[in-house]
Chain A
């Protein structure tokens, strides 16, 4: 009887639970229905727009075969006919490479690709300063000019059809591409209160001027961008398709900040929620907390339109049917944001929920080299492309960063060039890359990547040669006079042993291992090194106070090189400067200043290579390697895309034809733009 009562009670409880949960789910279901309806309406509208777009193009060019299928032949012809348009900056004429559509195949379009991303905190185009929000604007907006993915050190047409630089590199005159239209923001679509936004708005030069005005407005909260445009005298737009940027002085960095300028939608950020214009003196302050940001909207002119954004869950983008240029081939991109730790990320990739991902050195070791995941093809030292064959593809890719050991040149023993050189000869670079990083690293001899056009390849790298190190130390006056196994030297009447402490970031097992190897090598030449790890915050203080003898550091490299920040002597004793080793060399100072004023590519390469030669000889750093990563992808096509081999074809083409240093993370590596 008791058992029956209990069973009855449980049954009633379960029934109640089902009823309650059923009621609770109803609103969410209704909301979903509404959303689906909105999305359908939006898709219909987008298709109509694409049709209209195609019709317009066809009407404009009755003889041409089609709008986006245009082959690369005409572009190539222009380059061949016009050697001046080689993408390298010069005065008085348009030098931009023609826009390249050759990689785009209209019939390949389709598919919904999912990748992992971090959730952007906000989506304001200027006041947000995170990598995540710039990635969003990389997809949804365009800049005046682009770096072509096959040769990112040159410049190509973008929203500007041409640029003419005059007035000794102080005035840039851009011709804006006609017929480019702003997205209709999805967050506002279909809402009666935003009916005023439901129209086509064409991009004009005033949108660029609007951006510059915002950046230069003291009340706009974008200190990180403001610094770059401090030397800008101002922007003007003589007509709707002409933009003139005037700089106060000719400095090379102004080039990329001019060319890389993105427009801000004046028809949204210049208006109140009800569509009325904001008084000009209030635009700056209102901009910091604009209604459009509260709606989490993004409006650009780029190849993808933000479709939805749920913070920490998912962000989805839809291909822009009205895009003026060539888009990626995916119909939809989805950024998955709820996977935040390496382990769950890897599992999600293996389960097919994510289409492309990156592996850490340890994951690479266990999953690929130790074959824990049999669906990855085995590594083959003879064939760097062996990883493409498996059910899950993998390939090693390069990155634009490097690591170094920095020597404090302000005090002995590292004030002596020979000691620093000896330290470099003692570092078994190849062995550490092989054993500690499982081959993920490309040895470098300077702060420029070997694949960069600026790299001085004539420099003879410091190999691993203990005999040479010993000889150099002996030459510098270091000998083991007391027989304790550690070299010493008489400095200002005192016997000083060659002992030092190297500082580095904690919680980094690879650095621990690397330094353990190095310490053993140093010991065999009579140098005693102690390694001490520090928490990140404390390490920053150490850099700030230059409070070290030796330190492990790393820098991110850039396409445009600048030697001022790291190596100019004026930076050596400045608080918070980046020249923390105290490097000072008159010739480098001269050259670094000259480099900032030189725009001609060949001249810049010559200067950069001379600086590298001096730094190579001085060895303020022992340059270690540039980071490499393992990128992995599903070797089966994402749902809804066209045939499998086309997707794979796209991946391999992306890996093969791009400049080796172009970032392949997320999906930019697939037909990267």
Chain B
């Protein structure tokens, strides 16, 4: 048995990593936080800068955003980092594609431009080479802009604490200097045109800055896998430093604050659902074909076909709204505002009163599926040879059902239960929305809408772990329910 558990545990590691990688990649594909942060959408905002001003205003604006992205590890490629192998030709191609008249759509050009700005230190050398080449004069404007952003040094909190004031000031002076070296340019029909009279001096200064900086390429091999968004994320995950930039809090702190509400609501709902559905399924199976069985089936399917957001909203409007006098049930939260000072039994009753409608909304639909599974499985077993034999031996109905068939028909139910543990963690979004309960569902929905990658990933990690643990428990329970499985794995 121990070997069995161990082998299952070891198998979990690659599964866990695989799920994380896929999730991370999808999240990265889906979101472009730089765009969201800059609020640069066409429809609203925009500050009406002329082309000439864009060169300076835009850069300053992006410096802060890139800073923020670096702090969150969002500037790095998601899974594989090949930036150390960038050449001058790669950069020339990027700059040409991002320039006006390249034949690409504006949105694509902007995307390429932004990606170039985030290449960071590895792009500094190749960009300096572009700037040193007089034949590429038409690219010098955008190249200098990208140069200033890639060579920009972010000062992290740890740097402020550990580096001396002199070093900090030197870095800041260098950043300031970089900003001033951006060559002013304007878009031309094809490409761009430098309009800056001091372009030559700025190019010389940038060559000097590139030579000074430490942009060595010896780390480029190790960076391929170790210097990526995913590795940063995993590093922060295991050190507990996952930080949500949108909520300004540590992810696990946020989750710790909220999980209890969702957990208690869900666990009560699950317990209720199983406590009602299993006896119902057994009863239905034992009375197969009777009027009672047919009525139960029809009523359950009617309930099942009603979507829970609809039922929840109807309950809210019907039972929680004061048109005249007091409403029957409270409309928000899981306890009254002053419930802290109720006696404990009073408090429990208050919670029950608040939780009643949310629990109804959460459970009514699961009665159907659970009881139907139970009914189907038990019927299969009741018609099996061994059940007939038991009956022939003189066992009464109860003994046949509870003594012989029930255990065998539980295999499917155990499979269903494997997913429960992770559902408990975040499975009540609609109810939380309708009855204004501050649970995890809300938090995660918010995070998904705002593309808050650390928070979504933090929750995913917990959920995946719970799912895997649930599957492990289910595997063990199979053994308990079915001696054949137990003997196979020793």
A residues sitting closer than 8 Å to B (CB atoms) are: 17-18, 21-22, 25, 28-29, 32, 121-122, 218-219, 221-224, 226-227, 230, 279, 281-282, 285-286, 289, 293, 311-313, 338-341, 343-344, 347-348, 350-353, 373-375, 539-547, 553-556, 562, 564-565, 568, 570-571, 574-578, 580
Contacts and interface: CB of A to CB of B under 8 A. Distances in A.
Nearest to B43: A543
B42 A544 contact: yes
B271 to A, nearest CB: 13
A312 B316 contact: no
Interface string B432-448: 01111110001000000
Contact of A226 (B60, B332, B437): B60
Contact of A564 (B48, B155, B433): B48
A353 B46 CA distance: 39
B44 to A, nearest CB: 7
A219 B333 CA distance: 42
A312 B176 contact: no
A539 B437 CA distance: 33
Given A279-B165, A285-B155, 15 more contacts: A223-B38, A223-B60, A223-B62, A223-B65, A227-B47, A340-B433, A344-B433, A351-B321, A540-B42, A544-B110, A545-B107, A562-B48, A575-B109, A577-B46, A577-B48
Contacts of B43: 539-540, 543, 553-554
Given A281-B168, A568-B48, A575-B110, A344 B348 contact: no
Interface stretch (B10-18, B224-232, B338-346): B338-346
Given A121-B247, A373-B323, A540-B42, A25 B340 contact: yes
Nearest to B326: A351
Given A28-B340, A565-B46, A344 B179 contact: no
B19 interface: no
**Interface-central residue, B47, B155, B157, by most chain A CB under 10 Å:** B47
A311 B438 CA distance: 10
20 contacts: A18-B348, A21-B344, A21-B348, A223-B38, A224-B39, A226-B64, A230-B57, A230-B60, A339-B436, A344-B331, A344-B436, A347-B321, A373-B323, A540-B43, A544-B42, A565-B47, A570-B51, A575-B100, A576-B106, A578-B46
Contact of A556 (B44, B54, B340, B341): B44
A344 B434 contact: yes
Contacts of A570: 50-51
Nearest to B245: A121
Interface in B310-351: 313, 316-317, 320-323, 327, 331-333, 340-341, 344-345, 347-348
Residue among B54, B64, B345 with max Cβ neighbours from chain A (10 Å): B64
If over half of B's interface residues share one DSSP class (helix, strand or loop), that class is named, otherwise mixed; here it is helix
Contacts of B176: 218
A221 B67 contact: yes
A218 B320 contact: no
A544 B313 contact: no
A95 B44 CA distance: 33
Contacts of B160: 282, 285-286
B438 A312 contact: yes
Contacts of B344: 18, 21-22, 25
B175 A218 contact: yes
Interface residues of B, number: 65
Given A25-B347, A576-B40, A347 B48 contact: no
B316 A340 contact: no
Given A223-B60, A338-B332, A539-B43, A350 B442 contact: no
B403 to A, nearest CB: 18
Nearest to B330: A351
A285 B159 CA distance: 11
A568 B50 CA distance: 10
B64 A221 contact: yes
Interface in B264-323: 313, 316-317, 320-323
A161 B43 CA distance: 39
Nearest to B345: A18
Nearest to A539: B43
Shortest 7 CB-CB contacts between residues of A and residues of B? A543-B42, A565-B48, A540-B41, A22-B344, A544-B42, A223-B61, A578-B46
B248 A122 contact: yes
A365 B65 CA distance: 44
Given A281-B172, A351-B327, A575-B110, A338 B436 contact: yes
A424 B247 CA distance: 45
A575 B106 contact: yes
Contacts of A289: 157
B48 A340 contact: no
Given A341-B433, A545-B106, A282 B168 contact: yes
A580 B68 CA distance: 30
B48 A578 contact: yes
Task: Identify which of B46, B434, B435 gathers the most chain A CB atoms within 10 Å of its CB.
Answer: B46
Contacts of A553: 43
Contact of B322 (A223, A226, A339, A351): A351
Contact of B155 (A219, A311, A343): A219
B105 interface: yes
A343 B317 contact: yes
A32 B342 CA distance: 13
B389 interface: no
A351 B331 contact: yes
Contacts of A373: 323
A577 B65 CA distance: 20
B241 interface: no
Contact of B438 (A28, A121, A313): A313
Nearest to B317: A347
Contacts of A340: 433, 436, 442
A347 B327 CA distance: 10
Interface in B61-93: 61-65, 67-68
Contacts of B60: 218, 223, 226, 230
Contact of B248 (A121, A575, A578): A121
Nearest to A23: B344
B369 interface: no
B148 to A, nearest CB: 12
A90 B57 CA distance: 30
A375 B323 contact: yes
Nearest to B435: A344
A362 to B, nearest CB: 14
A350 B107 CA distance: 46
Contacts of A311: 247
A341 B46 CA distance: 29
Contacts of B62: 223
A299 B63 CA distance: 29
B198 interface: no
B246 interface: yes
A344 B57 CA distance: 44
Contacts of B348: 17-18, 21
A348 B42 contact: no
Contact of B321 (A350, A374, A546): A350
Contacts of B195: none
A230 B48 CA distance: 13
Nearest to A343: B313
Contacts of A224: 39
B412 interface: no
A479 B119 CA distance: 56
A545 B348 CA distance: 59
A218 B179 contact: yes
A373 B43 CA distance: 37
Contacts of A218: 60, 63, 172, 175-176, 179
B169 interface: yes
Nearest to B40: A576
A344 B331 CA distance: 7
Contacts of B106: 544-546, 575-576
A226 B67 CA distance: 15
Which of B43, B62, B176 is the most central at the interface, judged by chain A CB atoms within 10 Å of its CB? Answer: B43
A580 B42 contact: yes
A545 B48 CA distance: 17
